A = this chain, B = another copy of it.
Amino acid sequence: MSHEAQKAIARQSLLLRSLPDQHVETLLSHAIWRQYDRGETIFLQEEKAQAVHVVLEGWVKLFRMTPTGAEAVVSVFTRGDSFGEALALRNVPYPVSAEAVSACDVMHIPSPILISLMKEDPEIGISILAATFTHLHSLVAQLEQLKAQTGAQRVAEFLLNLCDDETGGCDVSLPYDKMLIAGRLGMKPESLSRAFSRLKAVGVKVNRNHAEISDIALLREYAESDPAENWSR
């Protein structure tokens, strides 16, 4: 991908898209561009934050390791997503680790650049706050899912988010591997397999990384139904 095309993607990110052009150019001109291989670490939990990150291509996961070695996936980001905004302004350690889950292009905006620009124009603080709030909101939504839905329902919602909001049927490609989907939804890969089997009953067929949804409305109804009511298999 050309450098210009990458810049265009960066400009659409939540962090940059509402900033005046002049500031965006300053930030882009100081940014560091890097490629990562699948499985490569971008940063580790407890490291001090030194940059804001913008994914230009590929997929990146944020996760936490528990003392026993289990990993909890916190979010998965792709083209046009930015993360680490809130930390860049304060010299604090990352609460999560970041890893490329596919080959990736990632842009890094060094924190000092952002901080000095923010002193000139507080408007940048608002952009950072907006991005941070979006992340907060998505964590709240995730918590709600985990606390109030069964595994199969979370999978249903995951699939619905991949569709456009239409009604009727829909074909989607699973964006990353099933192990990661399972982690993202807080279950084991075996449970994910079983959840997919169960969704056959509401018109979902999965083959490899391809899913076929026969009726979006039906799937949505299933995702939002009361778990206790689905006693009938």
Where the two chains meet, the residues of A that have a C-beta atom closer than 8 Å to any C-beta of B are 64, 66-74, 86-87, 89-90, 92, 95-96, 118-119, 122, 125-126, 128-130, 132-133, 135-137, 139-144, 146-149, 183, 186, 224-226
In the assembled complex, the CB of A224 is this many whole angstroms from the nearest CB of chain B, namely 5
Pair B143/A146 contact, Cβ less than 8 Å: yes
Pair A74/B143 contact, Cβ less than 8 Å: yes
Tell me whether chain A's interface is mostly helix, strand or loop, or mixed.
helix
Question: What 7 pairs across the A-B complex have the smallest Cβ distances?
Answer: A125-B125, A122-B122, A72-B147, A139-B139, A147-B186, A68-B226, A86-B133
CB-contact partner of A66 in B128, B148, B186, under 8 A: B148
Pair B129/A86 contact, Cβ less than 8 Å: yes
Pair A133/B90 contact, Cβ less than 8 Å: yes
In the assembled complex, the CB of A152 is this many whole angstroms from the nearest CB of chain B, namely 15
Chain B residues, CB < 8 A from A225 = 68
Pair A90/B126 contact, Cβ less than 8 Å: yes
Chain B residues, CB < 8 A from A67 = 224
Q: What are 8 A-to-B residue pairs whose CB atoms are below 8 Å?
A: A66-B148, A74-B144, A86-B136, A95-B137, A119-B122, A129-B132, A132-B133, A139-B140
